[in-house]
Structures are given as structure tokens and as C-alpha cells.
């Protein structure tokens, strides 16, 4: 069993030979998929030398694919030579892993106790009402996914909304509506550009 440790410099993934893609050509869906699997292959090569790095590999795979579809889980099982049932068991155990594609914008309401007593449930209700979806779901236009998250440890700023990695503290229902609008506007601006 090799116990390498990794931190600091070595933390960044090392370069591995990558298949060249033709520049200038719009990549097809298959190209994209192949490229993602290529990236995944690199991650697996990087971490599989170390014992028990399945969770890290899954986290990286989720970064690459946005979620963990079945074939990605199976691919990882195949490469690590572990049963796919085990991979699937791990994926479904940890709440950070998702198996459905998520929306463009992740809106997480912190449901830690501090946030809860400061009205996080009301915020969640506002979100649900505004986006007409339930917790854990994605809007039909693929713009938003709402989720409740575990305590992010910023209890001093409760209640908290984490919108795409950005922590918004002391948030109110009104502000939530504004944030949704901002995202929507950003989307329509982008659409006009194309």
C-alpha cells in the first residue's frame, strides 16, 4: 500500500499527455465527452497510486462533468478495479455528490441551526415559490438548481445563501428575488450576444 501524501505544489495535477483537438473547429458533443473522459483519466492516473482515494477522484470527476452520471461511476470502477456497486454506494452516501445534471446556477440555502432560527426556511420557501420548483430540483430552463446545504460555518452572518460559491450573508427574501433577477438578466444578455 502506497501512502503518498499530497499537498502544496504536488496538489495541482501533473500534466499528462492529452489528445490533441483540432483548433478552430467547434467541438462536437462526442468530442466534449471524450475530452471530459480524457480529463478524468488524468485524474485517475494522478490519484490511483494512493490507497483509498476514491472520494477525491469522485470529487474531481464531479468538477469535470458537473455531476456523476452512471457511466462515469462505472468508468471509475473499471479503472480503479473496484466493484461498481461500491462506487455507487459511496456516491449515494455523501451529500456533495449529485447524480443528476444541475442548473447553471446553484442556489444553496444554509440549513444550519443558526440560519434556521434566523428564518432560513422562509428563504427556502421564497426560492421554491419564485422558481416554482422543489428542493433539489432544477428549473426546466436549466438556469437554477436549489438545494439546502449543511452549515457553512458562517453563522455570524446567518441566514446564508450560497449562490455559485459566493456566500451571501444576512440575506432577506427581497434580496433573493433580486439575485434571481440578476441571474436571469445575465442570461438574457448572454442570449442576445449569441
Partner 1 sequence: MGKREYMPGPVVRKTGQLYDNPKKDVEKIRLTIDGREVEADKGMSVLEAARGVGIEIPSLCYLRHINETGSCRVCLVEVEVKGARTLQASCVYPATAGLVVHTSSPRVRRVRKTMVELLLSDHHRECTTCIRNLNCELQNTADSLGIRNIKWTGEMKALQVQNENPYIVRDYNKCIKCRRCEAICSKVQEINVYSAINRNYDTVIAPAFMQDLSQVACIACGQCVIACPTASLTEKECIDSVWEALEDPDKYVVVQTAPSIQVTLGEEFGFPAGTAVTGKLAAALRRLGFDKVFATDFTADLAVLEEAHELLERLGGRGKLPLLTSCCPGWVKFAEHFYPDCLENLSTCKSPHEMFGALTKTYFAGKEGIDPEKIVVVAIMPCTAKKFEAARPEMGTGDFKDVDWVLTTRELARMLRQADIPFHDLPEEEYNTPMGTASGAGVLFGSTGGVLEAAVRTAYYLVSGQEVDLPDYEELRGFSGLKEADVHLKDRIIKVAIAHGTGNARVLLDRLRSGEPFDFVEIMACPGGCVGGGGQPIYGSRWRKEISLDYRHNRADALDRIDASKALRRSHENPDVQKIYKEFLGSPLGEVSRNLLHTYYTPRGKLPGFHFGGIKGSHEGHVEENIPPHDNQSMPRPEIAPKV
Partner 2 sequence: MKIKSIEDIEKIKERHLPLIKQRLGYRNGLGLTQIMVCSGTACSSSESREVRLELEQELERKGLQDRARVFKTGCFGFCQYGPIVMIHPGEIFYCQVRPEDVQELVEKHLVGGQVLERLLYQNDSTKERTPSIEDIHFFKAQRRIVLRNCGVINPEKIGEYIARDGYFALADVLLHKNRDEIIEIIKKSGLRGRGGAGFPTGKKWELAAAQDLRPKYVVCNADEGDPGAFMDRSILEGDPHSILEAMTIAGYCIGANQGYIYVRAEYPIAVERLELAIGQAREAGLLGKGLFGTAFDFDIGFRFGAGAFVCGEETALLHSIIGQRGEPRPRPPYPAQEGLWGKPTLINNVETYANITVILRDGWEWYEGQGTATSKGSKVFSLAGKIHNTGLIEVPMGTSLRTIIFDIGGGIPGGKRFKAVQTGGPSGGCIPSKYLDLPIDYESLKEIGSMMGSGGMIVMDEEDCMVDIARFYLEFSQDESCGRCTPCRVGTKRLLEILIRITEGHGEMEDLEMLEELSYDIRDASLCGLGQSAPNPVLSTLRYFKDEYIAHVRDKHCPAGVCKALLEYTVDEEKCIACGLCARTCAAQAITGAPKQPYRIDPEKCTRCAACVAKCPKKAIQKGIKKDVGNYGKTGIYAGPGGTEDRATL
User: Closest approach of Cβ 102 to partner 2, in Å?
Assistant: 15
Choose one: 37-45, 52-60, 152-160, 170-178; the region binding partner 1 (CB under 8 A).
Answer: 37-45
Residues 6+ apart with CB under 8 A from 159: 109, 110, 115, 118, 119, 120, 123, 170, 171
Which residue do the cell numbers 461511476 mark?
Answer: 73
User: Which CB sits closer to partner 1, 85 or 192?
Assistant: 85
- The entry of partner 2, partner 1, none that residue 52 binds, CB within 5 to 8 Å by partner kind: partner 2
User: Which CB sits closer to partner 1, 16 or 117?
Assistant: 16
- Is residue 132 reached through a cis peptide bond, with omega within 30 degrees of 0 on the bond before it? no
Letter string b/e over residues 111-124, b meaning 16 or more CB atoms within 10 A of that residue's CB: bbebbbebbbeebb
- The entry of partner 2, partner 1, none that residue 85 binds, CB within 5 to 8 Å by partner kind: partner 1
- 78-97 residues in contact with partner 1 (CB under 8 A) are 78-79, 83-89, 92-93
Cα dihedral 183/184/186/191 (nearest 10): 150
- The entry of partner 2, partner 1, none that residue 141 binds, CB within 5 to 8 Å by partner kind: none
Told to check if 67 binds partner 1 by CB under 8 A, we report no
Amino acid at each position: 500500500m502506497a501512502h503518498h501524501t499530497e499537498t502544496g505544489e504536488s496538489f495541482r495535477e501533473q500534466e499528462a499527455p492529452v489528445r490533441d483537438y483540432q483548433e478552430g473547429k467547434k467541438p462536437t458533443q462526442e468530442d466534449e465527452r471524450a475530452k471530459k473522459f480524457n480529463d478524468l483519466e488524468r485524474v485517475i492516473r494522478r490519484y490511483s497510486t494512493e490507497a483509498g482515494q476514491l472520494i477525491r477522484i469522485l470529487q474531481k470527476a464531479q468538477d469535470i462533468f458537473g455531476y456523476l452520471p452512471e457511466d462515469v461511476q462505472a468508468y471509475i470502477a473499471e479503472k480503479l478495479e473496484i466493484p461498481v456497486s461500491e462506487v455507487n454506494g459511496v456516491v449515494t452516501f455523501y451529500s456533495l455528490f449529485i447524480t443528476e445534471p444541475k442548473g447553471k446556477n446553484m442556489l444553496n440555502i444554509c440549513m444550519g441551526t443558526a440560519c434556521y432560527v434566523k428564518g432560513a426556511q422562509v428563504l427556502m420557501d421564497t426560492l421554491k415559490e419564485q422558481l416554482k420548483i422543489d428542493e433539489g430540483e432544477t428549473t426546466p430552463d436549466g438556469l437554477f438548481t436549489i438545494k439546502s446545504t449543511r452549515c457553512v460555518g458562517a453563522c455570524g452572518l446567518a441566514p446564508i445563501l450560497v449562490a455559485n460559491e459566493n456566500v451571501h450573508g444576512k440575506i432577506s427574501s427581497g434580496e433573493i428575488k433580486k439575485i434571481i433577477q440578476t441571474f436571469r438578466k445575465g442570461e438574457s444578455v448572454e442570449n442576445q450576444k449569441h
